[in-house]
Amino acid sequence: MANLKNGILQRKTTRPLRYTRWRTNVPTRRFRAISASLPPLDLTEDNIKQVLADARIEFGQIFDSSVGMTGKAELAELDGPFVKISLKGRFWHERSTVLARLGTYLKQRIPEILEVDIEDEKQLDDSPENF
């Protein structure tokens, strides 16, 4: 399948020079809301702790310890339908973003919650001395 043209060896190919390689066995990451498939929970301290543990799994990028993120969100206080959480350690996102996402997640899983707030406003400071 080679020709000699003007003293240069040329090769004929049956396949195009440019082709796309299809990756069939590469797993794709599918994002789905775990909370949408779970039934709502009652407002108890144990359920809040469980939902915070579930959030740690579902929001893996916020709590990714493999890249040095040591952030932890814990229940600080439960006063009726008002929940206060404490944030400790380093997070991938700003602490105000973490609080907002956790608040939304808690309200989806436990509809009785009216408000999720931070235990101490200083915990929202993203400066390194607070880690």
Opening angle at CA 91, ends 93 and 51, nearest 5: 95
Domain ranges of the chain: 41-131
pTM over cut 0.85: no
Q: Where are the beta strands (DSSP E) in 1-131?
A: 2-5, 8-11, 72-79, 82-88, 115-118
Choose among 73, 43, 76, 41: nearest CA to 58: 73
Per-residue confidence of the chain (131 residues) as pLDDT tens digits? Answer: 556 556 565 555 555 555 444 444 444 444 445 555 778 999 999 999 999 999 888 877 666 666 656 788 899 999 999 999 999 888 888 889 999 999 999 999 999 999 999 999 998 988 877 66
The CATH number for 41-131, chosen from 3.40.50.300, 3.40.50.2000, 3.10.450.200, 3.30.300.130, is 3.30.300.130
d(CA 105, CA 55): 7
